[in-house]
Structure 1
Amino acid sequence: MQKRLFSCLRTLQHENPLGLPRSGTPPNLRARMQRGLPEKRPIKDVKRVIAISSAKGGVGKSTVSVNLALAFARSGLRSGVLDTDIFGPSIPTLLNLEGNEPRLSSNNQLIPLTNYGLKSMSMGYLVPETSAIVWRGLMVMKALQQLLHEVEWGGLDVLVLDLPPGTGDVQLTITQQIELDGAVIVSTPQDVALKDAVRGVEMFRKVKVPILGMVQNMSAFTCPNCSTTHSIFGREGVIKKCVEMNIKLLADIPLHPSICEDADRGQPTVVAEPDSLRAQVFKDLAADLRGQLQF
Structure 2
Amino acid sequence: MSECSHNCETCGENCSERQNPADFIEKPHELSSIKKVIGVVSGKGGVGKSLVTSLLAVLMKRREYNTAIIDADITGPSIPKAFGITGKAGGDETGIYPVRSKTGIEIMSINLLLENDTDPVVWRGPIIAGVVKQFWTDVIWNDVDFMFVDMPPGTGDVPLTVFQSIPLDGIIVVASPQELVSMVVEKAVKMAKMMNIPILGLVENMSYVQCPDCAKKINIFGESHIEQIAREFDLKVLAKLPLTPHLASICDSGVVELFEGDWMDGAADVIENLE
Q: CA deviation at 1:272?
A: 2.3
Q: CA deviation at 1:188?
A: 0.7
Kindly provide the amino acid, as one letter, of the partner of residue 272 in structure 1.
Answer: L
Matched residues in 2 for 1:124 and 1:69: separation?
19
Matched, 1:48 2:48: no
Aligned equivalent of 2:233? 245
Compare 89-98 and 137-146 and name the one that shifted more: 137-146
Aligned equivalent of 1:139? 127
Per-residue Cα deviation, 1:110-140 (whole angstroms, up to 9, x for no partner): 3333332211110111112111111123421
Matched residues in 1 for 2:265 and 2:250: separation?
16
Matched residues in 1 for 2:97 and 2:134: separation?
9
Which structure 2 residues correspond to residues 75-86 of structure 1 after superposition, within 5 A? Answer: 75-86=63-74
Aligned equivalent of 1:272? 258
TM-score where L is the length of structure 2: 0.88
Matched residues in 2 for 1:120 and 1:166: separation?
23
Matched, 1:220 2:200: no
Which structure 2 residues correspond to residues 3-22 of structure 1 after superposition, within 5 A? Answer: none
The percentage of aligned residue pairs carrying the same residue is 32
Compare 107-116 and 201-210 and name the one that shifted more: 107-116
Aligned equivalent of 1:126? 113
Matched, 1:34 2:17: yes
Q: Secondary structure at the match of 1:263?
A: helix
Q: Secondary structure at the match of 1:115?
A: coil
Q: In angstroms, what is the RMSD of aligned CA positions?
A: 1.7
Contact 1:72 1:283 in 2 (8 A): no
Q: 1:109 aligns with which of 93, 96, 116?
A: 96
Q: CA deviation at 1:29?
A: 4.3
Kindly provide the amino acid, as one letter, of the partner of residue 230 in structure 2.
Answer: C
Per-residue Cα deviation, 1:156-189 (whole angstroms, up to 9, x for no partner): 0010000101101111111111111001001011
Matched residues in 2 for 1:170 and 1:48: separation?
20
Matched, 1:209 2:191: no
Matched residues in 2 for 1:94 and 1:176: separation?
28
Contact 1:73 1:79 in 2 (8 A): yes
Unaligned runs of 5+ in 1: 1-27
Contact 1:105 1:111 in 2 (8 A): no
Aligned equivalent of 1:89? 77
Kindly provide the amino acid, as one letter, of the partner of residue 258 in structure 2.
Answer: A
Structure with larger Rg: 1
Q: Secondary structure at the match of 2:263?
A: helix
Kindly provide the amino acid, as one letter, of the partner of residue 257 in structure 1.
Answer: P
Unaligned runs of 5+ in 2: 1-11
Matched residues in 2 for 1:257 and 1:114: separation?
23
Q: Secondary structure at the match of 1:170?
A: helix
Kindly provide the amino acid, as one letter, of the partner of residue 205 in structure 2.
Answer: N
